[in-house]
Amino acid sequence: MKIRDILQSLGAGSLSPEEAAALIDALYKEDLGFAVIDSRREERTGYPEAVFCGGKTADQAEAIIGAMRAKNIPVLGTRAGPGLAERICSRFPEAVRDEIAGTLTLGEGRERRGLVTVVAAGTSDLPAAREAAVTAEFFGSRVELIADVGVAGIHRLFARLPDIRRARVIIAAAGMEGALAGVIAGLVSAPVIALPTSVGYGASFRGVSALLGMLTSCSPGISVVNIDNGFGAGYQANLINRLGSPGQDPAPPAGSKPCSP
């Protein structure tokens, strides 16, 4: 039942205000007792709710994913462990698992357009980088992943610059001191999303050094997400990427006028 149908029934007198309110409330959420599914999030934000599987039991995560699929909501599950992934893939044969990223995707995705390039400093940064790539792709971006081009062997980065410069948005994933994002931002015209990872020896403080280095970079055009937050980086990159078609500037806000006549 849609809201229009509920309102028509209310107007016709076949529903009381209390009944109509309850039906509308049920449209926008499904209470599982331990979780409330925001089933109409896509209507408000343009994108469905994602499922953070970390910290949930396998039963809880499976119940949430199952309830979303029952409503035909595409699902992106992040931080999904091997046990949960096995259960979901057994129950939903169409599920796609990325073992390195720790993600599960179910349901038809969006038409992919534009280009988000995810650049990983090292192989150890791939879990966060791949989570970012899967997220951006799931929400509707074409994605290219370029791995192991950190500043310790900067010639490897320079060799891939032509590919990186084709991107509409760039995600730079790096641990240690996190220098990769600032270097890339000084070489490209696209926005750079810095993704600090928890990779590094003791003084890297599980990603805090990379986070602070990215936050204090002197290169302009950088935004920074939290440590290992590949989902946040991929989501933000997709939002920017889908503002307009490749090679085109986004339309100006309504009511804006050029300075010259």
pLDDT at 82 over 90: yes
Can you say whether residue 177 is alpha, beta or left, with left for phi > 0 and alpha for psi between -120 and 50 degrees?
alpha
Please give the pLDDT value at position 100: 95
Which pLDDT value is given to residue 247?
A: 46
Q: Quick one: 148 and 210 in the same domain? A: yes
For 245-260, how does the pLDDT look when each residue is reduced to its tens digit (9 = 90+)? 554 444 444 555 555 5
Q: Among 93, 109, 125, which residue terminates a domain?
A: 109
- Sort residue 252 into left (φ over 0), alpha (ψ -120 to 50) or beta: beta
More confident residue, 181 or 1: 181
What integer is the mean pLDDT of 87-102?
94
Domain span at residue 85? 7-109
Burial 134-160 (b: 16+ CB within 10 A, else e): bbbbbbbbbbebbbbbbbeeeeebeeb
**Co-location of 59 and 160 in the same domain:** no
77 strand-pairing partners: 51, 104
The answer to the question of residue 250 being in a domain is: no
Q: Based on the domain organization, do 132 and 94 belong to the same domain? A: no
**How many residues belong to the chain?**
261
- pLDDT tens digit sequence for 30-58: 778 888 888 878 878 888 999 999 999 99
The pLDDT value recorded for residue 254 is: 52
Question: Does residue 1 sit within a domain?
Answer: no
DSSP letters for 98-140: ETTTTEEEES--PPPEEEEEEEESSGGGHHHHHHHHHHHHHTT
144 and 23 in a common domain: no
What does the alpha-carbon distance between residue 178 and residue 198 come to, in Å, rounded to a whole number? 10
- Considering the domain architecture, whether residues 121 and 241 belong to the same structural domain is answered as yes
Pair 205, 221 in one domain: yes
pLDDT confidence band for 28 (50 / 70 / 90) = low
Which pLDDT score is estimated for 1?
58
pLDDT given for residue 248 in this prediction: 47
Q: What is the pLDDT of residue 142?
A: 95
Of 80, 109, 138, which residue constitutes the final position of a domain? 109
Bridge partners (DSSP) of residue 213 are: none
Instruction: Let me know whether 222 and 241 are in one domain.
Output: yes
Shared-domain flag, residues 128 and 84:
no
Q: Which residue, 92, 109, 126, sits at the end of a domain?
A: 109
Highest mean pLDDT among 14-18, 25-29, 141-145: 141-145
- Give the Cα separation of 79 and 138 in Å (integer): 15
Closest CA to 78 of 46, 101, 109, 47: 101
Q: Are residues 181 and 224 in the same domain?
A: yes
Q: Please state whether beta strands 113-120 and 75-78 pair in parallel, antiparallel, or not at all (unpaired).
A: unpaired
Mean pLDDT is lowest, of 3-12, 122-131, 181-190, 198-207, for 3-12
pLDDT for position 52: 96
Could you give the number of structural domains in the chain?
2
Do 221 and 240 reside in the same domain of the chain?
A: yes
- Same domain for 133 and 45: no
Mean of pLDDT over the chain? 89
Closest CA to 175 of 220, 134, 126, 238: 126
* Residue 137, domain member (yes or no): yes
- Between 129 and 9, whose confidence is greater? 129
| Banded model confidence at residue 189, pLDDT cuts 50, 70, 90 | very high
Residues 196, 147 share a domain: yes
Q: How far apart are CA 133 and CA 156, in angstroms?
A: 20
Q: What is the pLDDT of residue 249?
A: 45
What digits encode the pLDDT tens for the residues 116-154?
999 999 999 999 999 999 999 999 999 999 999 999 999
Average pLDDT in the 155-176 region?
96
Residue 219 lies in a domain: yes
Residue 251 lies inside a defined structural domain of this protein: no
| pTM for this entry | 0.84
Look at residue 258 in the predicted model and tell me its pLDDT.
Answer: 57
